[in-house]
Amino acid sequence: MIKVTTEIEIEAPIDRCFDLARNIDVHTRTVWKHTKEKAIDGTVTGCIGDGETVTFQATHLGVRQKLTSQITEFKRPYLFVDSMLRGAFKSLKHTHEFVELDDSRTLMKDTLLFEAPFGMIGWLVERLVLRRYMEAFINHRNIELKKIAEGYDDSL
């Protein structure tokens, strides 16, 4: 199993950061464009909440795939966890944590735990490709989310 952790400080209140991070429309706008990611089932627009599911369809590493996840923990505005129900991974759990630094600054932390299928081949792919790919994917998304939260992209 691989663990990827990232942190980013955002000049915005914790409630805004929390809601933007769980907004499906924001998610599809902040991921890499070449993945053509879109929500196709479950909560497909607006903010996802406790117990709700979403299915995304996207192209990653040249493979078109679907991933269904469910919000399995929800403590507004400090934490939510999405866990894969179906998808290309053997397992995937994404913990989103928010720490209020002051009234106008938030630390957003992501912890991604995942395991590839296919035994030893999957183990190698996790270490040679997936760790860096997933970390870059999360970092890109967080930078784009930061721009929106801080008002550099007010198109929502």
Q: Which domains occur in the chain, in start order?
A: 2-149 (3.30.530.20)
Q: Could you tell me the pLDDT band of residue 62, with boundaries at 50, 70 and 90?
A: confident
What's the whole-number mean pLDDT along residues 44-59? 97
Write out pLDDT tens, residues 35-46: 999 999 999 999
- Return the percentage of the chain with pLDDT > 70, whole number: 97
| Per-residue model confidence (pLDDT) at position 155 | 57
Mean per-residue pLDDT of the chain: 95
Model confidence, pTM:
0.92
CA 14 vs CA 17, 95, 107: distances in Å: 5, 16, 8
| Per-residue model confidence (pLDDT) at position 16 | 97
